[in-house]
Structure 1
Amino acid sequence: MKDEPVATNLLTKLGSAFIRKEPYGLVLIIAPWNYPVNLTLIPLVGAIAAGNCVVLKPSEVSSSTEKVLAEVLPRYLDQSCFAVVLGGPEETGQLLEHRFDYILFTGSPHVGKIVMAAAAKHLTPVTLELGGKNPCYVDDNCDPQTVANRVAWFRYFNAGQTCMAPDYVLCSPETRERLLPALQSTITRFYGDDPQSSPNLGRIINQKHFRRLQALLGCGRVAIGGQSDESQRYIAPTVLVDVQEAEPVMQEEIFGPILPIVTVSGLDEAIAFINRREKPLALYAFSNNRQVVSQVLDRTSSGSFGGNEGFIYLTLPALPLGGVGHSGMGSYHGKFSFDTFSHHRACLLSPSGMEKLNEIRYPPYSDFAQQLISWAMGSQSCTLL
């Protein structure tokens, strides 16, 4: 929070130049339902740490957590610096009619556009943490069991209801045939012969999302899993093959325990496939060849990237969490949360006297004066000719 000193040039050498982090003022945080405690409190902490007051809107979809947050937070935080607003889309819409100094929204790109349009009416800056279809390239040069372990864990964690989860796999037909039995073995090891009875596999948040996911099971061909039980909102860990790019499962973010595998001829086709779609929130590449992983990193763009790894990088506060393009803008996490909710104010304090030293700055300008000014500004200057 301290003022951050910055370098000066000869023209400002007698002054003090620094960046001051100031709070924006009143922040609106609209949180999602899939990690309703984590994704509500982390931005709340960052906003308050930066000196802001916060209007907090938890998701009404995770209704029990919403009520607990509204009840418990006032016991621990000064109520003069935050307020919890309950309700659904109508209440959120009413909130967005008001002017805030900053808005952070986590959710879908569709709702993100609504939030951004509302913010634009007041020129309110926003951070949008949006979803997307996160690609996962699996190279021929890999250990299929290692890949299966890591991909399955991150795909089926929280029943696939994670914005950073791998959304589909790109690999060659040969690698697909090696990967499928490895995935089946991993799913059985993780969740047993009857995943529905496993205490380690979550359920779908509500009936609406269950029916949406159940419809996606009709895309391509089910190679693993595919079972569902509406009474429990259960969908088995599922792998789909022979899916077409135009099918719904490849057009919308899945947000469930379904993993399509799309075959490509190799690395170049995989990268072309990724680059002709919207920029994802996360992108993953698995290969024993480090150059292959580096190529995927260098030739694509995404909010975050995992090489031979999933979203375990979320455990590192030193890395920002944020999207790019269609998957969002801005970032937070750790100190990035403080920076996001702080206005970085450029400041220069100069002495009121010693005016004789400033005369070189004033017109009329001789050739010598112009050369002297250019020299005094040094490498930090920018001259437009």
Structure 2
Amino acid sequence: MTNSLTYLYNVYRQQLDFFNSGATKGYEFRRAQLQQLKSCIKKNEAAILEALQKDLNKSAFEGYVTEIGTVYEEINFALKNLRKWMKPKRVNTPLPLMPSSSRIYSEPLGVVLIIAPWNYPLQLNLSPLVAAIAAGNTVILKPSELAVNTEALLIRLIAENFDPAYISVTTIDGPTMSNSFIKTNTLGHIVYTGGEAVGKIIMAAAAEQLTPVTLELGGKSPCIITKSAKLDNAANKVAWSKFTNAGQTCVAPDYLLVHSLVYDRFIGKLKDAIVKMYGNDAEENPEYPRIINTTHTERIIALIEKEKLLYGGNYNVASRYIEPTVLSENETGSAIMRAEIFGPLLPVFKYESEQDIVNIVSENKNPLALYIYGEDQKEIDFVIEKIPFGGGCINNGLIHVGNVHLPFGGIGSSGIGAYHGQYGFERLSHKKAVMRTATWFDIPVLYPPFKNKLKWVKKLIK
């Protein structure tokens, strides 16, 4: 049983033996496994899209673009570059250390544990899996039990296509995973995507064995509409980036900061954009997603203050529906601003100066993402230089996450470490430093006795 601790221990031991055999380290093996993963997804696209629709009411378009397509991009990029990534990299050697040459070898870490959330239940399991395969590791996947249909599908697909001694899925509960398994086993690495509170628990458990971690934790990501923004474009991009997956996206704009000079016009255009994308009644739109379960639906609804409504506010708990909702906000300490919303509510602040932006964002430091819309480069440079954040976009939203050439990760409370593309390969590899010295010449200055030698060292190192 995949939810048995005994099963998990057995899988771990099998994977450790398989890894130690060296079977995962060769280029041809890694390439073949990446191709197998892609083939598996290709053959099961319809089943994947059906599972995503059942779990989150994702349309086929949104499911393909945000889940399947992003994984294809990761696989294709890894296949194209894997040989180059694996090749030892020659680096410079200082003159005092001659005659030597220096290289860095990328070495796999061992058994990698991937703990994924429910909001992108395919992508956030398989994107880090691609990195782990490319880096030459074995993998234990822990999907979220909340995305029931996608979890069941992943269990089947992985079991049918990969030896459990190489890649396996566990459904063991979170507390058992942290308190029993992570604390007592020497894992090569843990990749966790989810909330900050659980991230702290996993990091504390990992510390018992000094297991390295990558934590993608989210946070309150600001979106800034400057007075120089092209408002029609900004409204479309904000509506799309916020209400994709009904706001259940770790890098979704969590709140807006709109300059007072364009506030009224922008709010009007944002309302128009929402209606254009989802209709006057989004509940009747078959392409508008649903909240993952009733508990999360009720949590989000509790944040709606009717006196602050600018648009929306309707909901249906039974069908897990919450309308795209825009609210006016002026308190950084309000309930909606104390934690990541992770739903289709968008509070909007009005600001006057660049310092207002810094003051408001500093109440929720180190966001995972930041977005700024505008044409004034000085304003853009000010925000990028003054505010620490994981990653983001200028005049767009979300799309930086889809660029395999960019690292994806947080800073401070929004995460530790980054992956995607080569950054995932690097993150799940150890950089082994090796220096080779020629034997045709020996430098006696390094050996005792040291009398009269310091002056020669100072000539070389000063």
Instruction: Report the TM range for the smaller structure's normalisation.
Output: over 0.9
Residue aligning to 1:186? 273
Matches of 1:57 and 1:77 in 2, distance apart?
A: 15
Classify the secondary structure of the residue corresponding to 2:295: helix
Residue aligning to 1:380? none
Residue 114 of structure 1 is aligned with which of 201, 207, 217? Answer: 201
Residue aligning to 1:98? 184
> In the TM superposition, what whole-angstrom CA distance separates every residue of 1:26-59 from its partner, at most 9, and x where no partner exists?
1111111111111101111111221111111111
Matches of 1:270 and 1:223 in 2, distance apart?
A: 21
| Residue 234 of structure 2 is aligned to residue 150 of structure 1 | no
> In the TM superposition, what whole-angstrom CA distance separates every residue of 1:220-249 from its partner, at most 9, and x where no partner exists?
611100000111100000000034221111
> In the TM superposition, what whole-angstrom CA distance separates every residue of 1:45-94 from its partner, at most 9, and x where no partner exists?
11122111111111111111111111111222333212210133244333
Matches of 1:343 and 1:327 in 2, distance apart?
A: 24
**Native 8 Å contact 2:158 2:167 kept in 1:** no
Q: Return the structure number with greater helix share.
A: 2
Residue aligning to 1:54? 139
Residue aligning to 2:228? 141
Residue aligning to 1:304? 391
For residues 366-381 of structure 1, the aligned pairs below 5 Å read: 366=451, 369-376=453-460
**Native 8 Å contact 1:137 1:285 kept in 2:** yes
Residue aligning to 1:287? 374
Question: For structure 1, which runs of at least 5 residues remain unmatched after alignment?
Answer: 378-382
Counterpart code for 1:225: G
Matches of 2:223 and 2:290 in 1, distance apart?
A: 24
**Native 8 Å contact 1:297 1:305 kept in 2:** no
| Residue 330 of structure 2 is aligned to residue 330 of structure 1 | no
Residue aligning to 1:12? 97
Alignment length (residue pairs): 375
Residue aligning to 1:77? 162
For residues 173-322 of structure 1, the aligned pairs below 5 Å read: 173-218=260-305, 221-322=308-409
Matches of 1:214 and 1:271 in 2, distance apart?
A: 29
Classify the secondary structure of the residue corresponding to 1:45: helix
Classify the secondary structure of the residue corresponding to 1:190: helix
* Identity of matched residues, %: 38
Question: For structure 2, which runs of at least 5 residues remain unmatched after alignment?
Answer: 1-85
Root mean square deviation of aligned Cα: 1.7
**Native 8 Å contact 2:184 2:208 kept in 1:** no
Question: Per-residue deviation at 1:318?
Answer: 0.5
**Native 8 Å contact 1:172 1:265 kept in 2:** yes
**Native 8 Å contact 2:230 2:373 kept in 1:** no
> In the TM superposition, what whole-angstrom CA distance separates every residue of 1:347-385 from its partner, at most 9, and x where no partner exists?
11223563xx32011233355x334334445xxxxx7xx
**Native 8 Å contact 1:323 1:330 kept in 2:** yes
**Native 8 Å contact 1:130 1:323 kept in 2:** yes
